[in-house]
Amino acid sequence: MKRRLIHKGLHVIDHKLEDETLISYLTSALRLGREVPSLHEILAERRGKSRGEFVNNPKFAQEIDEEEQHLVAKWLKGNKVDIPNETKLYILELKSCIDQSDEIGALLKDLSGEYLLTKLDGDPISTP
């Protein structure tokens, strides 16, 4: 459950992700390698390891998780980090989508009969 994108249990409407929860969410998204190359894999390659090492070596996967969380937290605080520029921009884009989310407003519009553009789900990664 820890390595899932939503690993904190039931979602609370309009509850903004902050601090460790935000870092955890962002690093989970960066692990997927959808929009940008997987930061998880980039960090593993820097250590001379392959993707298969995560499956066969949980301790190694945990080390990479911790390094990834440290780098993302450091970047969000405005510090320099050694990660690709496209990854840095993607982190800021995801955070912006999360910050601009208005679930209560959308729910109220829906309940009052207003038209809402359809989305696949409320996941800022797949449908920002």
Residues belonging to the chain:
128
- Residue 93 placed within a domain: yes
Q: Which residues form the domain of 66?
A: 19-111
- Residues 12-46: tens digit of each pLDDT: 777 778 888 889 888 888 888 888 998 988 999 99
- Write out the two tokens for 123: 């996941």
- In this prediction the pTM is 0.73
When divided into structural domains, the chain yields a total of 1
- Residue 70 placed within a domain: yes
- Residue 98 placed within a domain: yes
Q: What is the C-alpha to C-alpha distance for residues 55 and 115, in angstroms, rounded to an integer? A: 45
- Residues 55-103: tens digit of each pLDDT: 788 898 889 999 999 999 999 999 999 999 999 999 999 898 888 878 8
Asked if 22 and 98 touch (Cβ cutoff 8 Å), the reply is yes
Asked if 39 and 68 touch (Cβ cutoff 8 Å), the reply is yes
- Residue 11 placed within a domain: no
- Residue 117 placed within a domain: no
